């Protein structure tokens, strides 16, 4: 019973096992989520470029559908996908270079791409669903990860 601390004595804490807090990343450094979003945005841009080229070059690549509310000529869809792809490629590059304009532009562009892929679902359902998932993860990563120097 004598080994136990008495009620009027403060406890002694051993601080030797504690580690120092990790240093914050330097300004302009990419966190894991932002790096992930930049790579996915670049990949999405490349895939959309290929999708647009395929729709422009050969209308037989995609299935013919009957009546569709948002029906556009496949060449029109190809131009839309090609433009979105090129802009997404440059935005992904900007995200990877930690450009200040790239994060909000990436969120807006991934949202537009998600809507375009939703409208493209009847032409290539599996492909559109894959690109919708990529767009969702890009939006999530860009909207939830904040560098240390930008936190409020």
pLDDT in tens, 84-107: 999 999 999 999 998 889 999 999
Distances in whole angstroms, Cα of residue 99 to Cα of each of 25, 27, 66, 113: 16, 12, 44, 21
How many whole angstroms separate alpha carbon 110 and alpha carbon 140? 10
**In terms of pLDDT, which residue wins out, 145 or 34?**
34
Give residue 78's pLDDT.
86
pLDDT of residue 10: 62
* Chain segment 27-57, per-residue pLDDT in tens: 555 567 788 889 999 999 998 899 889 888 8
pLDDT at residue 152, rounded to an integer: 40
Predicted local confidence at residue 56, as pLDDT = 85
């Amino acid at each position: 019973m004598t080994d136990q601390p008495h009620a009027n004595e403060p406890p002694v804490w051993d601080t030797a096992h504690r580690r120092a807090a990790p240093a914050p990343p330097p300004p302009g450094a990419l966190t894991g989520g932002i790096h992930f979003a930049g790579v996915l945005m670049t990949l999405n841009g490349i895939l959309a470029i290929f999708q647009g080229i395929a729709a422009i070059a050969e209308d037989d690549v995609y299935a013919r559908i009957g009546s569709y509310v948002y029906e556009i000529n496949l060449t029109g869809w190809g131009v839309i996908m090609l433009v979105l792809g090129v802009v997404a490629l440059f935005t992904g590059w900007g995200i990877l270079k930690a450009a200040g304009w790239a994060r909000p532009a990436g969120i807006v562009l991934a949202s537009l791409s998600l809507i375009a892929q939703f409208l493209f679902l009847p032409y290539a359902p599996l492909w559109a669903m894959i690109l919708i998932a990529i767009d969702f993860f890009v939006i999530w990563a860009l909207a939830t990860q904040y560098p240390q120097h930008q936190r409020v």
